[in-house]
Amino acid sequence: MTITTTQATQRSTWEWLVVAAQLCVAALGAFYSYGFGMRISGLPLAVLLAANGAFFGAIMVGYLADVLALARRRRVPGSLPD
């Protein structure tokens, strides 16, 4: 019986900063969206808006990080295929 193990690649400092930013923005999005939902409707909508705010905040930070990484790679000659 052969056992194969795989090692996950180590995350760079940039990737950890993106993860930390996603968590912070997700928490802020959830907090403010929950408050807004409580103000306009009640608990069910507040919980739904909190989840939506957290998700939207996290994906927006991920998108911004991808755009910045692509712009950075374009500045370095030869880093993108022609």
Q: 72 vs 3, which has greater pLDDT?
A: 72
Per-residue CA distances from 33 to 11, 18, 37, 43 (Å): 31, 22, 6, 12
Model pLDDT for residues 17-44, shown as the tens digit of each residue:
999 999 999 999 999 999 999 999 999 9
What size, in residues, is the chain?
Answer: 82
Residue with tokens 């802020």: 28
Q: Which amino acid is at 63?
A: Y
> Quick check: 80 and 73 in contact, CB under 8 A?
yes
* Whether pLDDT at 80 is above 70: no
Residue with tokens 């295929």: 81
Distance CA 22, CA 34 (A): 18
Model pLDDT for residues 46-55, shown as the tens digit of each residue:
999 999 999 9
